[in-house]
Amino acid sequence: MNAQDVKRAAVIGGGTMGNGIAQVLAMCGVETRLYDIQQDFVDRGIAKVRANLDKGVEKGKVEAAARDAAMERLSGTTELDVAIDEVQVVIEAIPEKMELKAALFGELGSKLGADVLLATNTSSLPVTEIANVTVHPERVVGMHFFNPVHIMKLVEVVRGNGSSDEAVATTVELAKRMGKEPITVVDSPGFASSRLGIAIGLEAMRMVEGEVASAEDIDKAMTLGYGFPMGPLKLTDLVGLDVRLSIAEYLQTEFGERFAPPEILREKVARGELGKKSGQGFYDWKA
Ligand code: NAI
């Protein structure tokens, strides 16, 4: 299938990522159905898209007519059969739990023809394992977007062990059609982005622990010396120390000691210093 042939798509899960993905799909001309388990989650997702696009119009970044056309193309439902009726693509953005994703992909596989592309936005789970529960696992790929979806350019296209070349190629082209910059990664723990991002983040924490420099100065080394848009410690504060700890623990089980979480990270999480959301992380956010 050619990405230009994608006329209708379903996005499963209307939370942080799902509503962003639905917005970008609708903006690039795809009739998009947003599915969630409760009507108020669907409504909230659609309202978020509307608010984002209104803000875009206010700032002069989105034409009012383009917003209106995208909103026309976007609909919401709590009925899976309605969401996936005659779609060419399904993008899943439900919580990061294997049992939920496996149940969904099992159902999608039994309901949809082999030509329908099934993409998961998982940030860490093995795409191959998700694919293997479905009929025709060759049409399953990872399509890892970044938050906020309408702004962040990167999409990691993850090739599961059984993904077909055609499924990967269509996903790459679809990501481009959505205005994104795709990279292709094999199904390996942490893909490219999390594995490298966490490695740098953990080393920066060990440097704070070893009193090499202050958090501010370590971050400055990377922003001014290496052109990072944000230092690894500030980024950790924004993502959440608890989130980064659980990814590090997972990567440690896969890659061994080089991903062992530093003591300072464990201690901060135990004290409830989770970063910006709790007011304290490597930085003080209370002010
Ligand atoms: P979220 O919690 O904001 O949204 C998940 C949505 O899925 C909720 O609206 C929930 O009601 C719905 N849901 C739960 N079970 C469902 C089911 N069986 N069928 C349909 N909908 C269901 O989660 P978020 O942050 O959007 O994450 C979704 C996925 O995207 C996860 O796999 C996550 O790892 C991944 N991801 C998250 C990023 C982030 O920054 N939040 C970044 C990149 C990937």
The CATH number assigned to the domain holding 264 equals 1.10.1040.50
Residue 284 lies inside a defined structural domain of this protein? no
Does residue 96 have its Cβ closer than 6 Å to ligand 1? yes
Question: 19 CA distance to ligand 1 centroid (A)?
Answer: 10
Q: Are residues 108 and 215 in the same domain?
A: no
What's the token pair of residue 114? Answer: 């082999």
* Residues 128 and 21 placed together within one structural domain of the fold: yes
Question: Does the beta carbon of 32 sit less than 6 angstroms from any atom of ligand 1?
Answer: no
Under a CB-based contact definition with an 8 Å cutoff, are residues 173 and 3 in contact?
A: yes
| Domain residue limits at 255 | 193-270
* Number of domains comprising the chain: 2
Query: Could you identify the atom of ligand 1 that is nearest to the CA of residue 44?
Result: 9
Residue 278 Cβ < 6 Å to ligand 1 = no
Residue 64 shares a structural domain with residue 155: yes
CA 143 to centroid of ligand 1, rounded, Å:
13
CATH assignment of the domain containing 88: 3.40.50.720
Do 11 and 102 lie in one domain? The reply is: yes
Question: Can you give the pTM of this predicted structure?
Answer: 0.92
Residues sharing a CB contact under 8 Å with residue 226, sequence separation 6 or more, in sequence order? none
- Per residue in 32-88, pLDDT (tens digit) is 999 999 999 999 999 999 999 999 999 999 999 999 999 999 999 999 999 999 999
Q: Is 89 in the pocket of ligand 1 (CB under 6 A)?
A: no
Mean pLDDT of 4-11: 97
Question: For residue 147, which atom of ligand 1 is closest to its CA?
Answer: 40
The protein residue whose alpha carbon is closest to atom 16 in ligand 1 is: 94
User: Has residue 122 been placed in a domain?
Assistant: yes
Q: Does residue 73 belong to any structural domain of this protein?
A: yes
Decide: 76 in ligand 1 pocket, CB within 6 A: no
Task: Tell me what pLDDT residue 239 has.
Answer: 87
- Tell me the mean pLDDT in the region 124-129: 94
Of the pLDDT bands very low, low, confident and very high (cuts 50, 70, 90), residue 96 is: confident
CB of 36 within 6 A of ligand 1: the answer is yes
104 and 217 assigned to the same domain: no
- Domain-embedded: residue 275: no
Q: How far apart are the CA of 16 and the centre of ligand 1, in A?
A: 7
Is 223 found in the same domain as 98? Answer: no
93 alpha carbon – ligand 1 mean position (Å): 5
Ligand 1 contacts CB of residue 95 (under 6 A): yes
111 pLDDT band, cuts 50/70/90, is very high
Give tens-digit pLDDT for 234-249. 999 998 999 899 899 9
Does any ligand 1 atom lie closer than 6 A to the CB of residue 194?
Answer: no
Q: Give the tens place of pLDDT for each residue, 154-211.
A: 999 999 999 999 999 999 999 999 999 999 999 999 999 999 999 999 999 999 999 9
Q: Does residue 212 sit within a domain? A: yes
pLDDT of residue 222: 98
Same domain, 164 and 32: yes
